[in-house]
Amino acid sequence: MEKGFLDKVCSIVGNDNVSVDEPMKKHTTFRIGGPADYYVTPHSGEEAAQVIKACREWKLPFYILGNGSNLLVSDKGFRGVIIQMFKNYSEVSVDGVCVTARAGALLSKIAKTALENNLTGLEFAAGIPGTLGGAVVMNAGAYGGEMKDVLEEVGVLSGEGEILRLKREELDLGYRTSVIARKGYIVLEAKMRLQEGKREAIASRMEELKEKRVSKQPLELPSAGSTFKRPEGNFAGKLIMEAGLRGFSVGDAQVSEKHCGFVVNKGGATALQVRELMQEVIRRVEETSGVTLEPEVKMLGEW
């Protein structure tokens, strides 16, 4: 352990918000991952900036984590600092037709707040299992809606530790990308502009999308959501199914029998098994269709 670093970070966020050798399987929706050297949960953008400054001072790698819904952490873990902007950083507020939320707020919580205030526009996000921060970075979307449809302004932390406010037109939001992703900014909060609507209609649409999700996706098993990005003009799940890979397994890692676009953990899957399965899926799909699938799941740690 780096001398002085632990004391420094504890002085910034408090002893209760720092742990050492923290198992990452407790913090990813895959329920997979070895220990992180340090695990820190700041309460504010200012605290996060100070923690990052300390990481740079001690030359320690760091990774910003939400609820771990799009992440595969290696079995060996992460040699560095995980900064989790989630439970301590999840307030949501409403002002007229605008909803402002901090980066750690779950999309489901934000959508529920919109419903309670008779605001429409976030129905698509109600079932996405991630936090606002990750959703903004990758312009998350589902069922015809995307974050770019509602975002008004985003507060970010730059690599130099400066807090910036980016307007909608500065975000350059595209399919699973943004200026935030390209420049390595860290999302602190976002303001979304919605529209007035009728609560019954909003609730009905959310329920309809929830039923679609439950019927088509393997929500009963740990996964990281859609494993591969959607290839242009096609669907990853369809190509995987056509390659004969429905139910294909490596150990306890499996291509879901319910939806081939998902890799699931049947209980004891290792990160290495998931990675090997993904590599085989990419190889077989390319062999059968000529399409090279690109992982949507981020990989972190030593491989």
**Which residues carry out catalysis?**
176, 226, 296
Look-up of token digits 């600092």: 81
- DSSP H or E stretch at residue 50: helix 45-57
* Residues in contact with 9: Cβ distance below 8 Å, sequence separation at least 6, in sequence order: 18, 38, 40, 51, 54, 81
Distance CA 186, CA 178 (A): 12
Phi and psi angles of residue 150, each rounded to the nearest 5 degrees, phi first = -120, -20
- Pairing mode, strands 98-102 and 186-193: antiparallel
Using CA atoms, how far apart are residues 205 and 97, in angstroms rounded to an integer? 19
Distance CA 151, CA 107 (A): 13
Would you call 108 helix, strand, or coil by DSSP? helix
